[in-house]
Amino acid sequence: MNQKIFYSLMIVGGCLSLLWSPKGYTAEQTVVQKGEYIFRATGGCGCHTDYKNKGEFLAGGRAIRTPFGIFYGTNITPDAKTGIGGWSDDDFIQAMTKGISPQGQHYAPVFPYTSFTKMTKEDLLHLKAYLFSLPPVEKPNKPHDLIVPFGQQIGFMLWKKLHFQETKFQPDPEKSAEWNRGAYLSEALAHCGECHTPRDWQGVLKEKMRYAGSKDGPEGELAPNITPDGETGIGDWGTADLIEFLKTGTKPNYDDSQGLMMEIIEHGYSHLKKEDLAAISLYLRSLPPVHNPEASTKSSDEDDEY
Amino acid sequence: MNLQKNIKYFLLILVLFGIASPLQAGSDEDAITYRVRVMKGIGSNMGSIGDVLKGKVDHKQLIVHYAKAMNEASKTVTTIFKQDTRTSAKKTRSKPEIWTKWGEFEDAAKKLEDESAKMIAAAQSGDMAKIGAQMKALGDSCGDCHKPFREKKK
């Protein structure tokens, strides 16, 4: 309900700014509007909203089941006490790109700073401006419930030493601007690979299986193969199919998407411009195809559908 | 004597089964296979409209036919799900809620009927913007029933 009121206010605000701004709404987007777009492109940060239990928007508490235990999404509303309200720009950038809290704690890689590290500084600050424009909610974070030995600070630090490198997105000069935009959106913002790539026993993404799907996706769901493999991936999906899917969740066989992906589309990708969805589509379709029957997109074509 | 009596009972049972079996509904397995067939047919008609909207084929004038087909099939949904298959060993993503909340299931099925009827009207108008908008509403009516009544893909 709160969310509805909030969105209504945003729409009203948007209309008003259209009247007031001499250059018009589209010509001059505010920093908050730009930040909201970044927010949508990341998929809507759904791990931080406990939708199932009607939790407040981005106030945390959502249980995320993984093979390493249960993580609880944190409060990222601008509440000074329990959220990120006290964070400086540098704190925010450090958290998003280095996986380190303002207090110097190392975050578990369930928080995809492993992807966000590639974001531009500008996008990061816009995202922060958007998050800080939202209503603060006082709600203390819930401690994670992890299987020993995974829940140890020293463990996260070691993991990062071994498997994490702070990096910036490197455009490929040989590829088109559209391809590079798609690569940036997919790799740095939408973080597709975090769920659609299988992980090893240490939770490290298997590089050879990049985007090839994982049967142990978050919340125990299958995250299917999104490489253009003909038999088990999206090889037979055209650009129009992918755009339609990211916009509405409808697959080329006209079944709807379920579970987490639907949620991410609803709160995130469906709000993106068509050009950006086309860029993501171009990028995904350019990936090396990987055959992975374990996480086939066709797994739903069985006779147990209804 | 005893043997004769047993044979009598045996015959009686045979006769009873003989009469009863044609009256019985088909097996749960067949019922599941059948409803998958019909539901996929609805999805397939949805696809026949969608491919036109995506610009894959240029068959705008055919949309109305697929909308009608969907509308007709939508009227059969509650009938094909009537058989309660909760105890069947056959794999199915149909949730028990279909039969425990039958009224809600009927409402959800009715929505598909209403939205597909609106699609017929939109298609007859020939207005592609209208058809596109109605496609969204039609798709939502699929999802609104799948969400509460169909198990997530594992």
What is the reported pLDDT for A25? 47
Mean pLDDT value across chain A: 90
Residue B14 counted as domain residue: no
Interface test with B, best of A254, A261, A265 (most B CBs within 10 A): A254
Residue A18 pLDDT exceeds 50: no
Contact A44, A264 (CB under 8 A): yes
Handedness of CA B119, B122, B124, B128 (dihedral sign): negative
What is the rounded average pLDDT of the residues B31-42?
94
* pLDDT above 60 (res B60): yes
Tell me if B138 is assigned to some domain.
Answer: yes
pLDDT at B22 over 60: no
Cα-based torsion angle of the residue sequence A32, A34, A35, A38 in order, rounded to the nearest 10 degrees = 160
Distance between CA B68 and CA B72 in Å, rounded? 6
- Domain-embedded: residue B12: no
Rounded to whole angstroms, how far apart are CA atoms A108 and B98?
40
Most confident of A12-16, A82-86, A153-157: A82-86
With 90 as the cut, is the pLDDT of residue A126 above it?
Answer: yes
Query: How many C-alpha atoms does A185 have within 13 Å on its Cβ side?
Result: 27
| Separation CA A139–CA A87 (nearest Å) | 16
Residue B7 lies in a domain: no
**Which pLDDT score, from 0 to 100, does residue A298 have?**
81
- Which of B36, B139, B146 is closest, CB to CB, to A258? B146
Res B64: pLDDT = 98
B123 in a domain, yes or no? yes
A24 pLDDT more than 50:
no
Q: Is the pLDDT of residue B58 over 50?
A: yes
How would residue B14 be classed by pLDDT, with cut points 50, 70 and 90? low
Distance of residue A12 Cα from the nearest chain B Cα, in angstroms:
23
State CA A80 to chain mean position distance: 24
**Token pair 């391809």 in the structure block, residue:** A179
**What local confidence, expressed as pLDDT, does residue B38 receive?**
96
Write down the pLDDT at residue B152. Answer: 80
Cβ pair B139:A256 closer than 8 A: yes
pLDDT digits (tens, 9 = 90+) for B79-88: 999 999 999 9
Q: Is residue B8 part of a domain?
A: no
* The pLDDT of residue A7 is above 70: no
Residues A239-265 have a mean pLDDT of 91
* Residue whose pair of structure tokens reads 């009686």 in the numeric block: B12
Structure confidence at residue A304 as a pLDDT band (50, 70, 90) = confident
Count of CA atoms in the C-beta half-sphere (13 A) of A179: 10
Contacts of B54 in chain A (CB under 8 A): 238, 240-241, 244
Question: If you average pLDDT over every residue of chain B, what do you get?
Answer: 89
What is the per-residue pLDDT for A19?
A: 47
Q: Which residues of B touch A241 (CB under 8 A)?
A: 54
Report the number of distinct structural domains present in chain B: 1
Does residue B69 carry a pLDDT above 60? Answer: yes
**Cα distance between residue B146 and residue A214, in whole Å:** 23
**Residue from B29, B52, B153, B154 to probe the interface with A (highest A Cβ count within 10 Å):** B153
Query: Residue B96: which domain range?
Result: 27-149
**From the list B47, B94, B139, which residue is nearest A306 (CB)?**
B94
Determine, yes or no, domain membership for B102.
yes
Average pLDDT in the A261-286 region? 96
pLDDT at residue number B9:
73
| Cβ-defined contact of A254 to B50 (cutoff 8 Å) | yes
What's the pLDDT band for A1 if we cut at 50, 70, 90? very low
Q: What is the mean pLDDT of residues A168-186?
A: 97
Q: Does position A268 have pLDDT exceeding 70, yes or no? A: yes
Q: pLDDT band for position B46 (50/70/90)?
A: very high
Sorted by where each starts, the structural domains of chain A and their CATH numbers stand as: 2-7+31-163 (no CATH), 177-300 (1.10.760)
ipTM comes to 0.70
pLDDT tens string B90-106: 999 999 999 999 999 99
In a domain, B18, yes or no: no
- What pLDDT is recorded for position A157? 87
With CA atoms as reference, the chain A residue closest to B144 would be: A256
Instruction: Answer whether residue A50 shows pLDDT above 60.
Output: yes
The backbone region for A241, taken as left when phi is positive above 0, alpha when psi lies in -120 to 50, beta otherwise, is alpha
Buried b or exposed e, range A250-280, using 16+ CB within 10 angstroms: bbbbbbbbbbbbbbbbbbbbbbbeeebbbbb
Q: Cβ contacts (< 8 Å) between A216 and chain B: which residues?
A: none
Distance of CA A72 to the CA centre of its chain: 16
Q: How far apart are the first and last CA of chain B?
A: 60
Tens digits of residue pLDDT in B126-137: 999 999 999 999
The pLDDT of residue A305: 83
Does residue A292 have a pLDDT over 60? yes
User: For chain A, where are the E strands, in sequence order?
Assistant: 63-66, 69-72, 145-146
Report, as an integer, the average pLDDT of A212-232: 92
pLDDT of residue A21: 45
> Residues of B near A (CB-CB distance < 8 A)?
32-33, 35-36, 39-40, 43-44, 46-47, 50, 54-56, 90-94, 136, 139, 142-143, 146-147, 150, 152-154
Q: What is the CATH number of the domain that holds B113?
A: 1.20.120.10
